[in-house]
């Protein structure tokens, strides 16, 4: 009974999975199996459960095979709980107002990890499985005229708003289940622990070992004659938002670094992100210089940038990319910041990339949300989309990253990238240009390294930007900077469908766990905080989960163009809204064809045929070798031209 | 003029360009680089640019020499016919100039940009080493010889391309593709009736001499029980005599008809009404739904306007320097309404498909003239519902049936001669875009590819094909009969009567567009179909009555009894509803619409609702999921929400210059990995085929050399047989491979042919469908001899 395994195997270890080759070549890899395979390791939100071709859990309908099973299990109300997940409250007779199918009556269960709604009104049963980390706020919808029912709106960070209502509780002492929900949805505000610290799942691979800065720099050929690894920030004394391992020019001693740090905002000195294996042109990142209204200068900083330029013998120029619009950069002078003047920095050319700040981005995405959820107005869809400016922002970011990549690759020139603090736009730009420049980062593990390095270790403030477990939903520090970056990556995968080892589902999964608080990866604001909280010890890394079932996230069409630099077309005409993420809740947006599935099966078929050809080849060679030695080579020769590219 | 053709040589090399017979090279420029589009891999390609009196040709530096004895191909991969050039723009150091036949340049162009009618933009860059004189000369030559379309120029172009003696001879000797249905003879139609299992219909030759209707084809399909004499009386009651005719039959027993609007100005006898009823209800259907197409669909003028806006937007013309800024792109695109029109066509077709799916009714598409939108909708419905029309040959047949023979006015709508500007409207291009949308949303349900659609799109702009150069069959016939007429299309029924007489005419015989070998290279044509056909099996329907088992749930759902009564009352009750009695078609339409939308007809309502429901995942899962035997006739219902309507970028934004931010060579996109993967799968399969039957005998006695002729022999007789017979032995494996089989367990059983041992199609998507498809639908994949009776699905021609 392969099919029924889908439900039974919930919660089973991924290690029990078949070796990948076998599961690929098995003809029974049907859709239901796939979703079943996707489920076990974490029993996450249904978001992550759905198959790679479709990401909408809202109306999760189990594939037919499992649906039958669901009937039998219909008495089993609860979902399989995660390790250490405990039920906090349950309530019956709750109405969920699904914007697509109408009101549904069912049961709500709140655990310390999720909200689970199940309605038997529909066949198959309708289920809603929502990790509490996704909840942005819960609001009671006042309805004076209706004293009998109380309504709640659950606003989610992933573009949804869920509406529930239930009968007014007679017993005034008993809390509504949504009050309970609020308590567990915002553990940080309520003095509770984020669920990631309790989640005890063990995975065969330890995702915390994915990124090791020393070996990553070694992969790039560092240290070398121009760059060295410094331990000056070992105890985060130089800069508390930077990682402990930094790469700086060889001829700048650690004392000078401290003086440079004094001149850079938050002490974020220019450090190496990436070095071109041939031209030695580098991508370095930092924060804005503390120029101020008086146009302060720093000899050390100037010398430092000169050293960066000198480290690259190919060019006598250095490009400084300031991600901000020039107006904003100038306005920062009032706050003591600013930008490098070309007088002070000889041979440096400053370029503004006109990317707006986190507040503009937040507002833009909010407009997208209004546009796509729950209903979409068809007649003015494109002009409405235009008025959100979201794609325009995407374009500017991609264009900026493209210019950086072009300068490094074609101009063989080193670049310095910064914005104000160097943890939002800078992270977007460096990581995108690295994706374009280095094929390693386009593999699954490489991408994980890229995120760990450019985002996590260099202190993108995930806690502040996402607000894990924090009820303060209006916090001005929240912003979808990381989502925007993943969107840009998605745009790249659209233009270069074969250049990335991961698929769309991988990106969606990362975003889902950005919010879910199931894994520790995206908690805290910096490496220092993560060490202090002992995150790697006390939580599970999302990469443990992902790397334990890589085939779910693998792009079957991947071709390893490791030495190819990707230059995307950044015109708006070639960008699209990522409807597979933003509009995935709408059942009418479901992709019609599981195209990945077909690709996978083609791969499986090829693997199988290849295997068979090899076997037969061996057989033929053996026989001909035994019969006559002079003909031994011929059968193989006629067979060789198949090249393998995956 | 650099060279003159030498008679006798079929095609020759002139400075590396392979000329057509009689083609003259007018100008040649060396050291030119051509900008490649994203699809071609971006970057640049260097080579030599030619201008002949037929085309602008570009020959890449290291392009392999073609075989001298192979048949001529009109256009190479990098060539543009002069007739498809719309504008020539020279780009100098600081300026750009539109070059007309009379203009003189005051600068030496660095770049030459050719804007084409088919929305390509070709960009040639001159090297510093390119001789200035050559640069200027070729610019002038192209500007002088490309022909802004006007009445005379088209003929000159046709003569230029096809007018030489050799070319005429070559064309008149070409065989028509016998794998597609041309719908020209009565037997063609009968074949279609048989394929669809429409037993209660017959082919009538009542319009044999085009006396009943000028614009209809010679043969029309009408109910068995309607006699020709009765039929004749009906013609007068319809605009242009386009009476209701059968188009297609859904396997569940519904029929699709099309007709023009009723004539109201003549007296109608009771008999006429009875005849009309007979035509509409002639076949067992007791329910008829007339779908009026005028209401929600764009008019030809709307389409023309939208298309011209789209052109202007997408081409980004640098000479006029009114390019739409990037940040206004989306709203400007919306403002063209092109996508809106596509959506409304697809929506209408989806509705009709859902009506048909419910079984046992007649859907008649009605349009005033029945020559534009009814072509679009009827063919879209068939593409959605019938997998056969999603194959290349099936689709070509569909275009023949619903467009060419049905009398779409290609000649006026395309307006080759620029003499019918008011009539011009790219209705056919709109249709192609609709099909592209279907393909885009259901790529694996199509055997044809977007490459094929693109090729067809481009061919429309080439005034060389008999397919597009007439408005109806009557015109085509007239032209081919009249010696000395402007056009002498090789076509249709006359070919079959005897040897073509076009050799005595002075004008070239025009080929049909479907003769792809004439237009495109082998490599390009290979891309017209998916390498591994994914579509469900295309088994011919024997009697067209699949409904016996499929309908059960639908019947309960639709309640045929009630539908029957109500709609019959609304549409057919002779007392009040014959349209010509109730005072004009307007009133008729009204009543019809009321019937369609109001609660009076809950059954019909429910059918359309069923469509809305299929947009929900439940049904999507059943249609696309691997579970259960998939009904191949379940219509492909596209998603039509705003975000789902995308632009056919590969067509409209092909040459867009603004797209090239940096032009570094990136070969990432080529060849598409899916193609490569599929190719590899096929290679492996072929190797397997070679290995498995020969492995045992060969190894003892022969080297690979003796094996060769063996293979070739098989291939030359019939490739498909070879493949199939070669596959056979694997199911009964040789003693040695038995071990492998057993050791590998069930997986080995899924090696091709994979199906027999596994239980049924529910197991896997790939093997459940494409394995079957491989054996049946894709000609290059070992169709079992005899599995398909129809010649079109047994196409060894592709491989031979």
In angstroms, the CA B432 to CA B448 distance is 12
In angstroms, the CA A243 to CA A223 distance is 17
In a domain, B588, yes or no: no
A-to-B residue pairs, Cβ atoms closer than 8 angstroms: 274
In a domain, B73, yes or no: yes
Residues of A in contact with B443 (CB under 8 A): 593, 595
Q: What is the model's pLDDT at position B798?
A: 36
Asked if residue A506 lies in contact with residue A530, where contact means CB atoms within 8 angstroms, the answer is: no
Quickly state the pLDDT bin for B692 (edges 50, 70, 90).
Answer: low
Q: Is A112 annotated as a binding residue?
A: no
Q: What is the model's pLDDT at position B37?
A: 72
Domain end residue (candidates: B123, B152, B173): B173
In a domain, B706, yes or no: no
Measured between its terminal Cα atoms, the distance across chain B in Å is: 39
Residue A475: CA count within 13 A, CB half-sphere: 17
Q: Is A332 annotated as a binding residue?
A: yes
Region for A336 from its dihedrals, namely left if φ exceeds 0, alpha if ψ lies in -120 to 50, beta otherwise: left
- Whether residue B382 is predicted with pLDDT greater than 80 in this model: the reply is yes
To the nearest whole Å, the CA of A113 is away from the closest chain B CA by 28
Q: What is the model's pLDDT at position A168?
A: 74
In angstroms, the CA A496 to CA A500 distance is 8
Residue of B nearest to A640 (CA): B687
In a domain, B290, yes or no: yes
Compute the average pLDDT of residues B420-438.
Answer: 94
Q: HEC states along B375-420?
A: HHHHHHHHHHHCHHHHCHHHHHHHHHHHHHCCCCCHHHHHCCCCCC
- C-beta atoms of B695 and A620 within 8 A: yes
User: How many distinct structural domains can be found in chain A?
Assistant: 2
B679 has a chain A CB within 8 A of its CB: no
Backbone angles phi, psi at B50, to 5 degrees: -120, 150
Residue A587 CA, chain-centre distance (Å), reads 23
The catalytic residue among A98, A419, A488, A524 is A419
Are A110 and A221 in the same domain?
no
Q: Is A357 annotated as a binding residue?
A: yes
CB nearest B625 (choices: A22, A63, A377) = A63
Are A490 and A434 in the same domain?
yes
> Could you read off the pLDDT of A572-626 as tens digits, one per residue?
988 999 999 999 888 877 766 666 676 777 777 778 888 888 888 888 888 877 7
From B84, B288, B120, select the one nearest B657 (Cα to Cα). B120
> Could you read off the pLDDT of B145-154 as tens digits, one per residue?
876 666 677 8
> Could you read off the pLDDT of A352-365 as tens digits, one per residue?
999 999 999 999 99
- C-beta atoms of A496 and B700 within 8 A: no
A7 CB-contact burial (10 Å; exposed 0-12 / middle 13-18 / buried 19+): middle
Are B382 and B514 in the same domain?
yes
B326 has a chain A CB within 8 A of its CB: yes
Compute the average pLDDT of residues A314-323.
Answer: 94
The domain that contains A137 carries what CATH number? Answer: 2.30.29.30
- Whether residue A508 is predicted with pLDDT greater than 90 in this model: the reply is yes
In a domain, A637, yes or no: no
B642 has a chain A CB within 8 A of its CB: yes
- Whether residue B601 is predicted with pLDDT greater than 50 in this model: the reply is no
To the nearest whole Å, the CA of B624 is away from the closest chain A CA by 6
Are B133 and B190 in the same domain?
no
Q: What is the model's pLDDT at position A366?
A: 95
Are A375 and A447 in the same domain?
yes
> Could you read off the pLDDT of B737-793 as tens digits, one per residue?
333 333 333 333 333 333 333 333 333 333 333 333 333 333 333 333 333 333 333
Q: What is the model's pLDDT at position A61?
A: 34
Beta-strand ranges (E) seen in B268-354 are 288-292
Are A259 and A223 in the same domain?
yes
Buried b (16+ CB within 10 A) or exposed e, B57-88: bbbbeebeeeeeeeebbbbbebbbbbbbbbbb
Structure tokens at A126: 């309708």
> Could you read off the pLDDT of A519-550 as tens digits, one per residue?
999 999 999 999 999 999 999 999 999 999 99
Residues of A in contact with B748 (CB under 8 A): 612
Compute the average pLDDT of residues B502-508.
Answer: 51
B246 has a chain A CB within 8 A of its CB: no
| Candidate from A373-377, A589-593, B476-480 with smallest mean pLDDT | A589-593
Q: What is the model's pLDDT at position A166?
A: 85
Residue of B nearest to A610 (CA): B684
- C-beta atoms of B664 and A565 within 8 A: yes
Residues of A in contact with B327 (CB under 8 A): 386, 389, 392, 572
Are A180 and A248 in the same domain?
no
Quickly state the pLDDT bin for B322 (edges 50, 70, 90).
Answer: low
| Candidate from A46-50, A387-391, A528-532, B72-76 with smallest mean pLDDT | A46-50
Residues of B in contact with A592 (CB under 8 A): 441-442, 620, 624, 636, 638-639
In angstroms, the CA A636 to CA A638 distance is 5
In a domain, A402, yes or no: yes
Compute the average pLDDT of residues A291-310.
Answer: 94
Quickly state the pLDDT bin for B341 (edges 50, 70, 90).
Answer: very high
Residues of B in contact with A386 (CB under 8 A): 327-331
Known active-site residue A98: no
| Candidate from A96-105, A204-213, B531-540, B552-561 with smallest mean pLDDT | B552-561
Are A167 and A263 in the same domain?
no
In a domain, A48, yes or no: no
B327 has a chain A CB within 8 A of its CB: yes
Are B275 and B422 in the same domain?
yes
Q: Is A47 annotated as a binding residue?
A: no
> Could you read off the pLDDT of B275-310 as tens digits, one per residue?
777 777 766 556 777 888 877 899 999 999 999 999
- C-alpha dihedral sign at A627, A633, A634, A636: positive
Quickly state the pLDDT bin for B36 (edges 50, 70, 90).
Answer: confident
Q: CB within 8 A of B554, min separation 6: which ones? A: B252, B357, B358, B359
Q: What is the model's pLDDT at position A339?
A: 95
| Candidate from A472-476, A632-636, B144-148 with smallest mean pLDDT | A632-636
| Candidate from B141-150, B406-415, B644-653 with smallest mean pLDDT | B141-150
- Whether residue B590 is predicted with pLDDT greater than 90 in this model: the reply is no
Are B378 and B411 in the same domain?
yes
Which residue would you say has higher pLDDT here, A125 or B796? A125
- C-beta atoms of A382 and B692 within 8 A: no
Residues of B in contact with A64 (CB under 8 A): 621-622, 625, 627-628
- C-beta atoms of A587 and B639 within 8 A: no
Say what the ipTM of the complex is.
0.83
> For residue B222, what is the enclosing H or E element?
strand B220-223
**What is the span of the domain harbouring residue A99?**
87-185
**What is the span of the domain harbouring residue B77?**
25-173
Mean per-residue pLDDT over chain A, rounded = 83
Which residue would you say has higher pLDDT here, B65 or B697? B65
Residue of A nearest to B690 (CA): A639
In a domain, A172, yes or no: yes
In a domain, B611, yes or no: no
Q: What is the model's pLDDT at position A167?
A: 82
Give the percent of chain B with pLDDT over 90.
22
The domain that contains B81 carries what CATH number? Answer: 2.30.29.30
Which residue would you say has higher pLDDT here, A611 or A73? A611
Are A181 and A238 in the same domain?
no
- C-beta atoms of B700 and A598 within 8 A: no
- C-beta atoms of A593 and B443 within 8 A: yes
Count of CB atoms situated within 10 Å of the CB of B671? 12
- C-beta atoms of A385 and B330 within 8 A: yes
Are A218 and A254 in the same domain?
yes
Please give the C-alpha separations between residue A21 and each of A24, A26, A115, A259, A384, in angstroms, as whole numbers: 5, 8, 37, 56, 46
Q: What is the model's pLDDT at position A428?
A: 97
Q: Which of A619, A641, A646 should one mutate to test binding to chain B, selecting the residue with the greatest count of B CBs within 10 A? A: A619
Are B80 and B125 in the same domain?
yes
- Whether residue B5 is predicted with pLDDT greater than 80 in this model: the reply is no
Residues of A in contact with B688 (CB under 8 A): 609, 612-613, 616
Are A327 and A279 in the same domain?
yes
Q: CB within 8 A of B184, min separation 6: which ones? A: B217, B218, B400, B405, B473, B491, B492, B493, B496
In angstroms, the CA A40 to CA A36 distance is 7
Longest dimension (CA), chain A: 96
Are A234 and A104 in the same domain?
no
In a domain, A59, yes or no: no
DSSP letter at A264?
A: B
Quickly state the pLDDT bin for B613 (edges 50, 70, 90).
Answer: very low
Query: What DSSP string runs through A277-295?
Result: TTT--EEEEE--B--TTTT
Q: Is A333 annotated as a binding residue?
A: yes
Are B207 and B143 in the same domain?
no
Which residue would you say has higher pLDDT here, B519 or B723? B519
Are B146 and B243 in the same domain?
no
In a domain, A19, yes or no: no
Quickly state the pLDDT bin for B630 (edges 50, 70, 90).
Answer: low
Asked if residue B771 lies in contact with residue B783, where contact means CB atoms within 8 angstroms, the answer is: no
In angstroms, the CA B364 to CA B238 distance is 14
Quickly state the pLDDT bin for B105 (edges 50, 70, 90).
Answer: confident
In a domain, A519, yes or no: yes
Are B102 and B197 in the same domain?
no
Q: CB within 8 A of A388, min separation 6: which ones? A: A364, A365, A367, A368, A371
Are B305 and B367 in the same domain?
yes
Are A162 and A216 in the same domain?
no
Mean per-residue pLDDT over chain B, rounded = 70
Compute the average pLDDT of residues A491-515.
Answer: 92
Q: What is the model's pLDDT at position A179?
A: 84
In a domain, B532, yes or no: no
> Could you read off the pLDDT of B387-411 as tens digits, one per residue?
999 999 999 999 999 999 999 999 9
Partnered with residue B260 across adjacent β-strands are: B367
In a domain, B681, yes or no: no
In a domain, A544, yes or no: yes
Q: Is A589 annotated as a binding residue?
A: no
- C-beta atoms of B683 and A642 within 8 A: yes
Q: Is A290 annotated as a binding residue?
A: no
Q: What is the model's pLDDT at position A28?
A: 33
Are B366 and B450 in the same domain?
yes
- C-beta atoms of A386 and B327 within 8 A: yes
Structure tokens at B347: 């929506």
User: How many distinct structural domains can be found in chain B?
Assistant: 2
Are B143 and B192 in the same domain?
no
Q: HEC states along A402-451?
A: HHHHHHHHCCCCEEEEECCCCCCHHHHHHHHHHHHHCHHHHCHHHHHHHH
Greatest mean pLDDT range, A87-91, A422-426, B742-746: A422-426
From A543, A547, A538, select the one nearest A513 (Cα to Cα). A543
Q: What is the model's pLDDT at position A100?
A: 86
Are A248 and A300 in the same domain?
yes
Taking only residues 341 to 380 of chain B, the set having a beta carbon closer than 8 angstroms to any beta carbon of chain A reads: 343
Are B166 and B255 in the same domain?
no
Q: Is the peptide bond before A374 cis (omega within 30 degrees of 0)?
A: yes
- Whether residue A367 is predicted with pLDDT greater than 70 in this model: the reply is yes
From A96, A28, A591, select the one nearest B768 (Cα to Cα). A28
- C-alpha dihedral sign at A220, A221, A226, A229: positive
């Amino acid at each position: 009974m392969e099919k029924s395994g889908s439900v039974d195997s919930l919660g089973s270890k991924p290690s029990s999975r078949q070796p990948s080759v076998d599961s690929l070549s098995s003809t029974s890899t049907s859709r239901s199996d796939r979703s079943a395979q996707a489920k076990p390791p974490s029993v996450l939100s249904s978001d992550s459960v759905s198959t790679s071709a479709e990401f909408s859990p809202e109306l999760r309908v189990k594939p037919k095979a499992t649906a039958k099973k669901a009937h039998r299990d219909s008495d089993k109300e609860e979902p399989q709980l995660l390790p250490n997940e405990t039920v906090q409250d349950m309530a019956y007779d709750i109405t969920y107002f699904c914007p697509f199918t109408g009101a549904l009556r069912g049961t709500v269960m709140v655990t310390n990890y999720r909200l689970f709604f199940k309605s038997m009104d529909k066949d198959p049963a309708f289920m809603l499985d929502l990790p509490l980390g996704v909840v942005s706020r819960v609001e009671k919808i006042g309805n004076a005229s209706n004293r009998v029912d109380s309504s709640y709106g659950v606003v989610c960070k992933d573009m949804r708003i869920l509406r529930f209502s239930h009968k007014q509780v007679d017993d005034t002492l008993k809390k509504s289940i949504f009050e309970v929900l609020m308590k567990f949805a915002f553990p940080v505000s309520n003095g509770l622990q984020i669920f990631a610290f309790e989640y005890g799942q063990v995975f065969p691979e330890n995702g915390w070992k994915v990124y090791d800065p020393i070996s990553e720099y070694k992969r790039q050929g560092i240290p070398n004659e121009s760059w060295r690894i410094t331990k000056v920030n070992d105890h985060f004394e130089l800069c508390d938002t930077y990682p402990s391992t930094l790469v700086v020019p060889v001829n700048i001693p650690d004392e000078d670094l401290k003086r440079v740090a004094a001149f850079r905002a938050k002490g974020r000195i220019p450090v190496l992100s990436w070095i071109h294996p041939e031209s030695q042109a580098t991508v370095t990142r930092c924060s804005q210089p503390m120029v101020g209204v008086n146009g302060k200068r720093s000899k050390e900083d100037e010398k430092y940038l000169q050293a960066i330029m000198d480290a690259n013998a190919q060019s006598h120029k250095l490009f400084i990319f300031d991600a901000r619009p020039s107006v904003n950069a100038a306005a920062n002078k009032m706050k003591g910041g600013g930008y490098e003047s070309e007088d002070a920095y000889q041979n440096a050319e400053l370029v503004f990339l006109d990317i707006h700040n986190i507040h503009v981005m937040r507002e833009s995405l909010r407009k997208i949300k209004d546009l796509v959820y729950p209903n979409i107005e068809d007649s003015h869809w494109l002009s409405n989309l235009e008025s959100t400016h979201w794609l325009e922002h995407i374009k500017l970011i991609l264009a900026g990253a493209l210019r950086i990549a072009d300068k490094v690759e074609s101009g063989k020139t080193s670049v310095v990238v910064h914005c104000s603090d160097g943890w939002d736009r800078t992270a977007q730009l460096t990581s995108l240009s690295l994706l374009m420049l280095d094929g390693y980062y386009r593999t699954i593990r490489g991408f994980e390294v890229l995120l760990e390095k450019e985002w996590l270790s260099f202190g993108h403030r995930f806690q502040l930007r996402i607000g894990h477990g924090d009820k303060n939903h209006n916090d001005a520090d929240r912003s979808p900077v990381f989502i925007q970056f993943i969107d840009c990556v998605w745009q790249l995968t659209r233009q270069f469908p074969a250049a990335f080892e991961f698929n769309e589902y991988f990106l969606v999964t990362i975003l889902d766990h950005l919010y879910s608080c199931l894994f520790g990866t995206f908690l805290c604001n910096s490496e220092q905080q993560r060490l202090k909280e002992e995150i790697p010890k006390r939580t599970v890394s999302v990469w443990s989960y992902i790397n334990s079932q890589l085939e779910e996230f693998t792009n079957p069409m991947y071709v390893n163009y490791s030495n190819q630099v990707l230059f995307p077309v950044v015109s708006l005409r070639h960008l699209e809204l990522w409807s597979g993420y933003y509009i995935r809740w709408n059942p009418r947006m479901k992709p019609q064809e599981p195209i990945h599935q077909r690709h996978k099966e083609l791969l499986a078929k090829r693997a199988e045929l290849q295997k068979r050809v090899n076997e037969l080849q061996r057989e033929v060679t053996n026989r001909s070798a035994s019969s006559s030695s002079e003909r031994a080579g011929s059968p193989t020769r006629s067979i060789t031209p198949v090249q393998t590219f995956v | 003029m650099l060279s003159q053709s030498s008679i006798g040589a079929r095609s020759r090399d002139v400075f590396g360009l392979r000329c057509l017979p009689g083609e003259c090279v007018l100008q040649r420029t060396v050291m030119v680089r051509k900008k490649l589009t994203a699809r071609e891999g971006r970057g640049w390609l260097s080579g030599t640019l030619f201008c002949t009196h037929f085309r602008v040709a570009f020959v890449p530096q290291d392009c392999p020499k073609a075989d001298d004895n192979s048949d001529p191909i009109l256009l190479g991969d990098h060539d543009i016919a002069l007739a498809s050039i719309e504008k020539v723009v020279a780009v100098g150091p600081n300026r750009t100039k539109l070059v007309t036949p009379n203009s003189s340049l005051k600068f030496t162009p660095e770049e030459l940009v050719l804007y084409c009618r088919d929305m390509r933009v070709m960009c040639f860059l001159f090297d510093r080493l390119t001789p200035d004189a050559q640069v200027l000369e070729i610019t002038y030559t192209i500007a002088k010889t490309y022909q802004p379309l006007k009445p005379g120029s088209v003929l000159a172009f046709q003569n230029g391309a096809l007018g030489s003696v050799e070319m005429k001879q070559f064309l008149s000797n070409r065989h028509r593709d016998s794998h597609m249905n041309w719908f020209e003879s009565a037997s063609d139609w009968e074949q279609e009736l048989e394929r669809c299992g429409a037993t209660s219909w017959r082919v009538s030759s009542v319009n044999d001499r085009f006396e009943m209707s000028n614009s209809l084809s010679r043969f029309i399909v009408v109910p068995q029980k309607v006699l020709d004499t009765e039929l004749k009386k009906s013609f007068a009651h319809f605009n242009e005599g386009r009476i209701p005719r059968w188009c297609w039959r859904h396997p569940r027993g519904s029929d699709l008809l099309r007709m023009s609007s009723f004539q109201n100005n003549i007296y109608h006898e009771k008999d006429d009404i009875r005849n009309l009823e007979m035509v509409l209800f002639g076949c067992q259907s007791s329910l008829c739904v007339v779908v009026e197409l005028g209401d929600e669909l764009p008019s030809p003028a709307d389409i023309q306007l939208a298309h011209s806006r789209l052109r202007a937007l997408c081409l980004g013309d640098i000479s006029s320097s009114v390019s739409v800024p990037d940040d206004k792109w989306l709203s400007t695109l919306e403002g063209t309404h092109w996508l809106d029109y596509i959506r409304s066509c697809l929506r209408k077709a989806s509705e009709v498909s859902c009506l048909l799916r419910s079984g046992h009714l007649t859907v008649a598409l009605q349009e005033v003239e029945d020559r534009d939108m009814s072509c679009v909708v009827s063919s879209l419905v068939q593409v959605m519902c019938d997998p056969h029309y999603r194959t290349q040959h099936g689709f070509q047949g569909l275009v023949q049936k619903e467009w060419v023979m049905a009398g779409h006015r290609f000649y006026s709508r395309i307006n080759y001669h620029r003499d019918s500007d008011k009539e011009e409207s790219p209705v056919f291009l709109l249709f192609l875009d609709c099909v592209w949308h279907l393909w885009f949303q259901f790529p694996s349900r199509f055997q044809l590819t977007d490459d094929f659609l693109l090729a067809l799109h481009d061919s429309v702009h080439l005034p060389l094909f008999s397919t597009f150069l007439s408005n109806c069959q009557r015109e085509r016939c007239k032209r081919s009969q009249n010696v000395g007429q402007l056009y002498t299309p090789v076509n249709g029924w006359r070919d079959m009567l005897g040897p073509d007489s076009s050799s005595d005419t002075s004008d070239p015989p025009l080929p049909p567009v479907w003769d792809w070998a004439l237009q495109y290279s082998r490599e390009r044509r290979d891309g017209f179909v998916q390498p591994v056909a994914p579509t469900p099996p295309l088994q011919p329907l024997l009697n067209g009555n699949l409904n016996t088992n499929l309908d059960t749930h639908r019947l309960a759902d639709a309640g045929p009894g009630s539908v029957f009564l109500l709609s019959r009352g609304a549409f057919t009750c002779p007392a009040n509803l014959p349209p010509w009695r109730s005072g004009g078609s307007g009133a008729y339409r009204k009543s019809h619409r009321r019937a369609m939308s109001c609660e009076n007809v809950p059954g019909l309502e429910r059918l359309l609702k069923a469509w809305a429901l299929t947009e929900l995942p439940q049904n999507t899962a059943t249609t696309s999921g691997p579970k259960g035997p998939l009904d191949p006739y379940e219509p492909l219902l596209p998603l039509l929400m705003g975000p789902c309507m995308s632009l056919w970028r590969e067509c409209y934004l092909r040459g867009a210059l603004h797209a090239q931010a940096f032009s570094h060579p990136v070969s990432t996109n080529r060849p598409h990995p899916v193609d490569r993967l599929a190719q590899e799968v096929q290679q492996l399969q072929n190797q397997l085929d070679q290995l498995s039957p020969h492995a045992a005998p060969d190894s003892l006695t022969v080297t690979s050399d003796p094996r060769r002729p063996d293979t070739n022999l098989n291939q030359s007789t019939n490739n498909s047989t070879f493949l199939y017979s070669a596959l056979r032995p694997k199911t009964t494996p040789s003693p040695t491979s038995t071990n492998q089989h057993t050791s590998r367990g069930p997986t080995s059983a899924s090696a091709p042919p994979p199906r027999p041992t596994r239980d049924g199609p529910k197991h896997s998507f790939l093997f459940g469908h494409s394995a079957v498809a491989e054996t049946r639908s894709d000609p290059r994949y070992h169709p079992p001899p005899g599995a398909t009776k129809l010649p079109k699905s047994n196409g060894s021609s592709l491989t031979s």
